[in-house]
Chains A and B, each alone.
Chain A
Amino acid sequence: MNTLPLASFGGAIEFIFTPQDSNVTGGNKVGGFDKSLELVLKHLEVTALALAIALIVALPLGLYLGHRGKGELFAVGFGNAGRAIPELAVIALVAVLIGVGLKTVAPALAILGIAPILVNTYVGVRQVEPATVEAARGMGMSESSIIRRVELPLAIPTVMGGIRSAAIVILATATIAPLAGVETLGDFIINRNVYGENGLLAGAILVALLALAIEGSLALLQRRLTSDGLKVKTA
């Protein structure tokens, strides 16, 4: 009886850099650095695309609703409901309706990102001191410049918090993309028959590293975007 050996950390790291034997490939090697790099890049592409769609939808909507002080029930309600959507079911449904590939996977993943961005943007804008907004209005600023030049800058830490959650949840869920025509790092994780336990662990490690890298760079971006005045206050 052959049972697959348990994964080892060393084995997984080796898998990432050097092609390994497999049971089902008739002697061809699997994994290795080129394959890992290819999947990492594809994974990042899918994540970036989905995050971009989520931002385009959720950021303006959150800013507008927050500015008008309307639609709290919608923004927060939709946001929370959005977290409960079973992503696999969404992808399956969209795949049946419009087919497979990036055009299915990216919008389906974007749905996951819309929720945190929308909620955080809405809440962030609502938290801005009404007096500050009044002062801006008193100086003769138009409503749209109040949003762009007063509310958004002041809401940046909260908004970025939402974007960071969105990026991480999209990145993590992009592992199911190989089921709908896009080869991401999920390939290593889903196809245990081909890549074995080490491949599975290698996929998980790479996804975790990407998550850390993205979290780190978005944190840097957030520091860059946050107004100095706010930094002093929170420091």
Chain B
Amino acid sequence: MRTDQTRVRVLLAALAALALTLGVAACGSSDDSTTSGSTEGGSAGAIQSNPDNGKVSLTIGSKNFPEQEILGEIYAQALTAAGYKVKSALNLGSETVALKAVKTGQISGYPEYASTALTSFFGLEPEEVPADATEAWEKANEEFEKEGLEAFEPTPFASANAVGTTKETAEKYGLKTVSDLEGVSEELSLYGSPECPQRIDCKLGLEELYGLKFKSFTPVDIGLRYTVLEKGEADLSILFTTDPQLSAESDKFVILEDDKKVFPAGNVIFVTTQKVAEEAGPDYEKTILQVQEGLDLKVVQELDARVELEKETPKQAATAYLESAGYIGS
């Protein structure tokens, strides 16, 4: 009996030791305020249907997330309006799958981010990607041409990482650009994806190129990037420029302008093959460039919001954009 007691004591002691490792954590501040509004942008000029195009069949692809599907729909509907026979394949998975589909002729073309094309297809490191959209496009196009491909000119909007915060925090510290963080970032906590601390187009770039130091960094799933701001845990959070929340809740969240261009140019370029471009005739490129003119950041945020927050289909959102900008009749 005595030895049993000792054993129980050893167990209890082990338990106590484990229990002692218990610790607690806590966090601080921030809320929201009001103001702001938004409108659809875009340039006029309805797409003219050209009967010659009826002989050409095109298949427009996209990767499998809402923003890509919306873009795919916009291009597909616009090309239909221009008289082409258009099919769509809007669920191609990753860029590797999509590019392969273009090369093998399964699809005629699809929208890709210039930064993704350069880093993931051509092995550039993120800091080698030009921050200027035209430069990035030219660089990508050079590489594409070697493989019989072609990329059309970039969209006005760019999809990239961005330092985001609540309107309240931005007002409190007078933050408009990332450079405004100088001198205050030591007091602010930064939240981002688990890989952010080691990425030059994320925290590492903010530290090395802006010379910023943060009070702390906490890794979180990207699905929580707004939650941590909303709950006041994070002072700063890494967001994406085209996030629908930025238009739908523009009274709550703001992004800081990347004035030193750490985040590479994520403008969309339409990738196709030279063969398809030739066969489809001049209206192919013309139509695509025409309808993407109205795609500035605000418009894309709103289109993303329609699909991700208001549960419209990408098709509905695309039609709404094309109609309100006057590209197709309603």
Contacts and interface: CB of A to CB of B under 8 A. Distances in A.
A225 B198 contact: no
A53 B24 CA distance: 13
B183 interface: no
A143 B29 CA distance: 50
Interface string B1-44: 10111011011001100110111111100000000000000000
Contact of B4 (A25, A149, A182): A149
Nearest to B7: A225
A25 B198 contact: yes
B8 A148 contact: yes
Contacts of A186: 194
Contact of A191 (B123, B194, B224, B231): B194
Contacts of B220: 95, 100, 179-181
Nearest to A97: B231
B282 interface: no
Interface stretch (A44-52, A68-76, A125-133): A44-52
A92 B3 CA distance: 46
B8 A152 contact: yes
A27 B294 CA distance: 38
B22 to A, nearest CB: 6
B101 interface: no
A102 interface: yes
Interface stretch (B68-76, B86-94, B163-171, B199-207): B199-207
A185 B3 CA distance: 40
A100 B224 contact: yes
A149 B8 contact: yes
Interface in B167-209: 191, 194-195, 198-201, 204-205, 208
B274 to A, nearest CB: 18
Interface in A63-92: 92
A179 B21 contact: no
A101 B194 contact: no
Interface string A179-216: 11111001100110111000000000000000000000
B195 A55 contact: no
Contacts of B8: 148-149, 152-153
A194 B195 contact: yes
B18 A48 contact: yes
B223 A149 contact: no
A7 interface: no
Contacts of B125: 23-24, 26
B25 A191 contact: no
B227 A179 contact: no
Nearest to A192: B195
A25 to B, nearest CB: 5
Given A26-B204, A191-B194, A224-B10, A179 B221 contact: yes
Contacts of A182: 219
Given A55-B15, A96-B227, A178 B21 contact: no
Contacts of A180: 220-221, 224
Contact of B204 (A28, A100, A102, A103): A28
A156 interface: yes
B106 interface: no
Given A26-B204, A52-B18, A100-B224, A179 B219 contact: yes
B218 interface: yes
A156 B205 CA distance: 54
Contacts of A59: 15
A48 B21 contact: yes
A145 to B, nearest CB: 10
Given A101-B25, A153-B8, A52 B19 contact: yes
Contacts of A225: 7, 10-11
A100 B7 contact: no
B210 to A, nearest CB: 13
Given A100-B220, A224-B10, A190 B4 contact: no
A100 B205 contact: no
A179 B227 CA distance: 13
Interface string A146-168: 00110011001000000000000
Interface of A: 1-2, 22-26, 28, 30, 45, 48-49, 51-53, 55-56, 59, 92, 95-96, 99-103, 148-149, 152-153, 156, 178-183, 186-187, 190-191, 193-195, 221, 224-228
Query: Which 7 residue pairs across A and B have the least CB separation, nearest first?
Result: A26-B200, A52-B18, A179-B221, A2-B123, A191-B195, A178-B194, A153-B4
Interface of B: 1, 3-5, 7-8, 10-11, 14-15, 18-19, 21-27, 119-123, 125-127, 191, 194-195, 198-201, 204-205, 208, 218-221, 223-224, 227-228, 231, 233
29 contacts: A22-B198, A24-B199, A24-B200, A26-B205, A28-B198, A52-B18, A52-B22, A53-B22, A95-B221, A99-B228, A100-B191, A100-B233, A101-B218, A101-B233, A102-B23, A103-B26, A149-B1, A152-B11, A178-B194, A181-B191, A183-B194, A186-B194, A187-B194, A190-B194, A191-B195, A191-B198, A194-B199, A195-B198, A221-B14
